[in-house]
Amino acid sequence: MGRRKRRKEAKTAAKEAGGTFKKKRHRLRKLMVLGSVAGGIAAWRQRQLAENETKFGSAR
């Protein structure tokens, strides 16, 4: 079974259950990406803060 067919089946199953299919999936991915990005930014900011505290203080 190809990816497309599997997706379609999942979509119809979601429709029968009375929900959306794509949106939730996207939100999940967004959350994951946001989480990893936030983690990366936090780590990066920690490094930056040592060098230029003033710049970041005004920005955020």
Average confidence (pLDDT) over 4-12? 71
Token reading at 20? 């959306």
- Residue 44 is predicted with a pLDDT of 74
| Verdict on whether the full-model pTM lies above 0.85 | no
Question: For residues 18 and 11, what is the distance between their CA atoms, to the nearest angstrom?
Answer: 11
Domain boundaries, the chain: 20-60
Q: How far apart are CA 38 and CA 32, in angstroms?
A: 10
pLDDT at 17: 59
Residue 1 pLDDT:
60
The token pair that represents 9 in the structure block: 């089946």
Q: Is 15 left (phi over 0), alpha (psi -120 to 50) or beta?
A: alpha
Chain segment 26-60, per-residue pLDDT in tens? 666 666 676 677 777 777 777 776 666 666 555 55
